[in-house]
Amino acid sequence: MDMQSSGQQADVCSFNDAKPVALPSQTSLLPHRSSSVTWISALLLSAMVLSWSSGFIGYRYVSEHSGVMLATFWRFVLAALLLLPLVWRQLGELSWRHWADQGVVGLLGIAGYIGPIAVSIALGVAPGTSSLIANLLPLSIVLLAGFVPGQATRGWQWLGIGLCLIGMLIASGSSLEFSRASIWAYSLPLLGVASLALATIYQKQSRHPPLPGLMGLFIQVCAILPVFALLALQEGSLRPVMASGFGFGVLWLVVFGTLGGYGFYWLCLRRFTLQSVSGALFLTPPVTMLWAYLQFGDPLAVTALVGVALTLAGLPFLRRPRS
The amino acid present at 214, given as its one-letter code, is L
Mean pLDDT in each 10-residue stretch from start to end of the chain (323 residues)? 46 46 46 68 92 86 87 96 93 86 95 90 76 84 82 84 88 69 85 94 81 89 96 91 91 94 93 89 85 83 83 81 46
Q: Which of 77, 74, 80 is nearest to 58 (CA)?
A: 74
20 burial level (CB within 10 Å; 0-12, 13-18, 19+)? exposed
Please write the tens of the pLDDT for every residue from 156-166. 888 988 998 89
Task: Tell me if the pTM is above 0.85.
Answer: no
CB neighbours of 232 closer than 8 A, spacing ≥ 6? 67, 69, 70, 72, 73, 238
Taking the C-alpha atoms of residue 239 and residue 232, their distance in angstroms, rounded to an integer, is: 10
Residue 123 to residue 188: CA distance in whole angstroms: 10
For residues 151 and 206, give the distance between their C-alpha atoms in angstroms, rounded to a whole number: 13
Q: What is the pLDDT of residue 176?
A: 65
Specify whether the CB–CB gap between 201 and 147 falls below 8 A: yes
Rounded Cα gap, residues 5 and 284, in angstroms: 78
Contact criterion met (CB below 8 Å) for 198 and 144: yes
Asked if residues 172 and 307 have their Cβ atoms less than 8 Å apart, the reply is yes
CB count within 10 Å of CB 97 equals 9
User: Nearest 5°: phi and psi at 153?
Assistant: -75, 135
How many angstroms separate the CA atoms of 64 and 133, rounded?
A: 24
Rounded CA-CA distance 82/255 in Å is 10
Report the amino acid identity of residue 47: A
pLDDT of 39 reads 86
Calculate the alpha carbon distances from 240 to 13, 18, 70, 73, 209 in Å.
Answer: 87, 80, 7, 10, 38
Amino acid in position 204:
K
Torsional class of 88: left (φ above 0), alpha (ψ -120 to 50), beta (otherwise): alpha
Of 52, 84, 67, 22, which is closest to residue 218 (Cα–Cα)? 84
Length of the chain: 323
DSSP secondary structure string, 155-172?
TTHHHHHHHHHHHHHHHH
CB 314 within 8 A of CB 160: yes
